Amino acid sequence: MLSYSVYSVSDVVGAVVVQAYRFALDPTPAQDRDLHRHAGAGRFAFNWALAAVRANLDQRAAERTYGLDGEQLTPALGWSLPALRRAWNAAKPQVAPWWAQCSKEAFNTGLDGLARALGNWSASRSGRRAGKRVGFPRFRSRRRVTPSVRFTTGTIRVEDTRHHVTLPRLGRIRTHESTRKLARRLHAGTARILSATVRHTGGRWHVSFTVEVTRTVRTPARPQATVGVDVGITNLAVLSTGQVVPNPRHLTQAQARLRAAARTLSRRQGPDRHTGPQPSRRWRQAKTRLARVHARVANLRADGLHKLTTTLAAAYGTIVVEDLNITGMIRNRRLARHIADAGWATLRRHLEYKTAWNGGQLIVADRWFASSKTCSSCGVVKPKLRLQVRTYTCEHCGLCLDRDLNAAINLKQYVARSGRETQNGRGADRETTSWWLVAVKRPPRTISVG
């Protein structure tokens, strides 16, 4: 792993940003039941409102078949959050007489989720939303939906003990880890809590605080330096400086434990949607063990990516990465699991906001820039370069070096090359030159990159 660089922090107060602080919780059995009750209340409100919307749409569609139109139709039920909340408040005494046992924020969480889902479906249907087509919302099942609840009002506080948080209607809950990072900013007056979201993932509850933070202006250790970062599978990243970050392959290393946990889960008596039996206690325990193995893999991956991106953003003023078509690359069934395990998209997302926080800039090279096929010395582009070829050899100038290192150097030079007009329009210095068309051939040479 790369060594950490020291920030150069000025005394000027920077911009206000919104970021999240996530902590694991250790609730008591009573608090655990209350958390599940709140999450269930949000799911109940979501399903009730969705049923009301679907019934309203079906009623209006049926009335149109009778020749009715305009004001003759049943009034449409609004899809906005305020409209759904008014409808819920009017119906909750009849449909949910137990509503007073939970915070109003629990029901608001479900209604807000439905309002967003309906808005996304409407925008996708009309063409106002880009990307993959969004389907109509479906009812939420207790077994398929991650329990969560979001609090925006009420008492949301990080206690001075730095091992407790206070949430509305749930009271004081102990945290599994220290909250000192957020507590220090709150005491200094440079942070303000906007909301708190409690979610059950990986076999335990976590609370995520959405915080408005005033960050100080930082300067990278080398503000004028530029580094190219080429990501891969064999090595997670290769820098243009010659440094190599190995790929830890956390998912591959955990395959044996995942298979054993999944095999144990399959032998337990689980839920059956057709016959209706409830899952056994041992099935629930096995499911929790499997979830914890997955959570450990995700935590190890996130820790490594955070350390790498923090180091790069703190050291270099300009970072250049590729715009990879990860969705298309994952379609390769031989490499899909390894590509997903590397977390390339997460690495780029971290660099986007960390470079902004540290006073640097992130440059994304064009997707058609041939970083691997281009010679970093003379700029000649190979017509083809198989993935199995790990050493780049230029038949024109004789350059011979590692394929990933050559790509990283080209990414570093991308900033200078993008300012000049090119003949092939792909960011290279010249058109693709086939090695068999070169009249003068030089023996391969190896260069060292500092």
Give catalytic residues, as residue numbers.
230, 322, 404
Q: How many Å apart are CA 88 and CA 100, to the nearest integer?
A: 13
Q: How many Å apart are CA 302 and CA 345, to the nearest integer?
A: 12
Sign for the pseudo-dihedral over CA of 97, 98, 103, 106: negative
Close Cβ partners of 416 (under 8 Å, ≥ 6 residues apart)? none
Helix (H/G/I), strand (E/B), else coil: 205: strand
User: Is residue 305 within 8 Å of residue 237, measured between CB atoms?
Assistant: no
Q: How many Å apart are CA 175 and CA 280, to the nearest integer?
A: 29
Q: How many Å apart are CA 92 and CA 86, to the nearest integer?
A: 10
Phi, psi of 210 (to 5 degrees): -85, 115
Taking Cα atoms as reference points, which of 167, 171, 311, 293 lies closest to residue 243? 311
Q: How many Å apart are CA 415 and CA 422, to the nearest integer?
A: 13
Largest CA distance in the chain: 88
Q: How many Å apart are CA 176 and CA 375, to the nearest integer?
A: 52
CA-CA distances (angstroms) from residue 11 to 256, 357, 364?
A: 51, 15, 30
User: Is residue 200 within 8 Å of residue 32, measured between CB atoms?
Assistant: no
Q: For the purposes of burial, counting CB atoms within 10 Å of the CB of 47, is it exposed (0-12), middle (13-18) or buried (19 or more)?
A: middle
Q: Which helix (DSSP H) or strand (DSSP E) does residue 171 occupy?
A: strand 171-174
Give the tokens for residue 272: 């059956």
Chain Cα centroid distance, residue 132: 18
